[in-house]
């Protein structure tokens, strides 16, 4: 159980008490915030200035803390189908020191998910201090629009597949605590 490997978002200010719908961008919203329970809207223009600004703010929030390895737009109060995954996760590199590089996934959909599942411990800095074991398909094929507006498809396994599914859940208003067993409060 390596928390560093499974923390799939990151945060700065603990805003658990906040109930506002729109926090200042790049601040991570906490689980009570309704935006985390909405189904995110498809992105109409992947290369618009608005989308680029949202991605930039997401990256800022993601890399504010060294444990961040992925973030979904609703986590900074933007209900749009966008998430980012740290490049080290995709390249299966050590996570101790993040370069700040990431891949952008816009309007993602899973084209395939494996029948075989694996279990691992997850955390989420929109759900601070709680970790739980989640069973998820071991492999997925995701189709998405990249930051240049080009539709892409790629396969993923291991931690990358897990992060993709955790982030995709955020776009569907689902949090890992909805699925986790053996939830521990740290
Ligand atoms: Zn999360």
pLDDT tens digits, one per residue of 11-22: 333 333 333 445
Secondary structure string (H, E, C) spanning 141-157:
EEEEECCCCCEEEEEEE
Residues designated as active site: 167
Distance 166 CA to ligand 1 centre (A): 6
- Give the pLDDT confidence score for residue 93 in this predicted structure: 92
Q: pTM (2 decimals)?
A: 0.86
Tally the domains of the chain: 1
Q: Which domain holds residue 175?
A: 3-185
CATH number of the domain to which 25 belongs:
3.90.45.10
Q: What is the pLDDT of residue 123?
A: 93
Distance 70 CA to ligand 1 centre (A): 8
pLDDT of residue 18: 37
Closest-CA residue to 94 (of 156, 2, 1, 186): 2
Chain CA centroid to CA 119, Å: 18
The pLDDT score that the predictor gives to residue 24 is 58
Of 100, 107, 90, 87, nearest to 147 by C-alpha is 107
pLDDT at position 178 is: 96
Q: What are the residue ranges in the chain where pLDDT is below 50?
A: 1-21
Q: How much distance in Å is there from the Cα of 31 to the middle of ligand 1?
A: 9
pLDDT score for 23: 55
């Amino acid at each position: 159980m390596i928390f560093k490997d499974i923390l799939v978002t990151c945060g700065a200010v603990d805003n658990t008490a906040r109930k506002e719908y729109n926090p200042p961008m790049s601040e991570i919203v906490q689980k009570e915030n309704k935006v985390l329970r909405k189904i995110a809207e498809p992105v109409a223009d992947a290369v618009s200035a608005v989308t680029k600004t949202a991605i930039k703010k997401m990256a800022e929030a993601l890399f504010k803390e060294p444990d961040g390895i992925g973030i979904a737009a609703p986590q900074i109060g933007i209900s749009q189908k966008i998430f980012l995954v740290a490049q080290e996760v995709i390249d299966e590199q050590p996570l101790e020191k993040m370069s700040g590089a990431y891949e952008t996934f816009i309007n993602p959909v899973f084209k395939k998910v494996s029948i075989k599942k694996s279990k691992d411990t997850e955390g989420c800095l929109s759900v601070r201090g709680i970790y739980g074991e989640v069973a998820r398909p071991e492999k997925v094929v995701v189709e998405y629009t990249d930051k240049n507006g080009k539709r892409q498809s790629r396969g993923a396994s291991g931690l990358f597949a897990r992060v993709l599914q955790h982030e995709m859940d955020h776009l569907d208003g689902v949090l890992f605590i909805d699925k986790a067993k053996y939830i521990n409060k740290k």
